Structures are given as C-alpha cells and as structure tokens.
Amino acid sequence: MGKSIALFGTSADPPTIGHKKILEELSKIYTFTISYVSNNPSKKHIEDISIRSYLLKTLIEDLNNPKILFNQKVSSQWAVESIKKCKKIYEFDNFDFVIGSDLIKDIFFWKNFDQIIKEVSFLIILRKDYPVESNTLKMLETYKVKFKISTIQIPNISSSKFREYFNYSNLPTSLIDIVKKNNLYESTKLVE
C-alpha cells in the first residue's frame, strides 16, 4: 500500500484546540499530514496570514510529530492551487483534502471545482451543529465527488467562537502566551 497523505489547509484565525485535535487524529490515520494557513476568500480574517501561519507552525512544532508537516509554501486562497503545489513538492498523486462539514456544501462553488474533484478525495470532519445534509450528499454523488466522512471527534470550538468568547482554554497551551503577549485578537473583545 502506498503512502497516504492528508492535506489540511485552514484559515486558523486563531488555531484552537480543535485544530490541534484534528492534527493529532490525522497523524494516526495518514502517513503524513501537510498543513498550512490560507486566506479563505469567503471569510474576513482578523489577523494577518503571517501571524496565523506563525501560530499554526508553533502548534505543529509543539506537537513534535514527524508525521505532521507544516508547509506554508503550498498556501493559496484557492484549493486547486494548493493541491497543485503539494503534488509538485511531495510527488504524490493521492491526497485526501480535509474539510469541515460546515464548509462541504461550498466546494461546488470553488474555483476549478471540476478539476479539484479529479485531483483529490475529501475527508469530511463532522462539526457539531453542521451535519452533512442529504441534499449535499446527493450533490456529492451527482458530481461523483470522492469523499469519506471521518469518525474523528473534535471539541465544539471554532476560531470564531474563541474570538467571540475569548476563552484562553480553547487555545493550545503553546499559543496562549504568544496571543496574550502580542495582544492578538484583542480588538474582537467587546468593551463595555
């Protein structure tokens, strides 16, 4: 059997304990997990990509797992470009593109969707309150999208929830001091 590769791009604004759990679990399933930070064209990011990528790199270095690779060089706001870069750098043909169930219905509108579905399979990570709806499953089948629904259990936290409630326990321990010392995400707190 060949090597199995997971491609996990994320906006990570900031990386949370959810991102950490996903990376840890992917490393148990795949030969390698390649992760990077990207700018999602449908999101407004709070911190610059250089800060977010530094945070994700720090998290991955702290995990100290040779099966989890951080490579910001593959980043693009377009999934199709990140996939091409990965295939060129790592010289593998089979990638599973990791995506949250909250975003799976958006893939049909992605740039070069028809090309992407020929290049990768999708690994869908279920997020609480975001089931994969039956009409989305039908569309995946209609377009012959290769996909698996993961059994990975992740904490019910997201970057946007962290920014809303500002609970440091939702950040990986290795990032708390960096976020505090640099006053990152402070502007998202409500001041009364």
Rg (CA), the chain: 16
Architecture of the 5-188 domain: 3-Layer(aba) Sandwich (3.40)
pLDDT tens-digit series, residues 114-128: 999 999 999 999 999
> Can you give the pLDDT at residue 2?
64
| Residue whose C-alpha is closest to residue 8's, from 94, 100, 90, 93 | 100
Sequence letter at residue 68 = I
> Can you give the pLDDT at residue 187?
56
Evaluate if residue 27 carries a pLDDT over 90.
Answer: yes
Q: How far apart are CA 141 and CA 147, in angstroms?
A: 9
Q: What is the pTM of this model?
A: 0.93
If pLDDT is split at 50, 70 and 90, which confidence band does 190 have? Answer: very low
> Can you give the pLDDT at residue 188?
55
- How large is the average pLDDT for residues 32-40? 96
Per-residue CA distances from 148 to 24, 61, 98, 133, 142 (Å): 18, 28, 10, 14, 15
Q: How far apart are CA 7 and CA 86, in angstroms?
A: 8
Evaluate if residue 144 carries a pLDDT over 80.
Answer: yes
Question: Which positions ≥6 away from 99 have C-beta within 8 Å?
Answer: 107, 122, 123, 124, 125
- How large is the average pLDDT for residues 20-31? 97
pLDDT tens-digit series, residues 69-109: 999 999 999 999 999 999 999 988 789 999 999 999 999 99
Percent of the chain clearing pLDDT 90 (strictly above): 87
> Can you give the pLDDT at residue 191?
42
> Can you give the pLDDT at residue 165?
87
Question: Which positions ≥6 away from 16 have C-beta within 8 Å?
Answer: 155, 157, 158, 159, 162, 170, 171, 172
First to last CA, the chain: 58
Domain spans of the chain, in order of start: 5-188
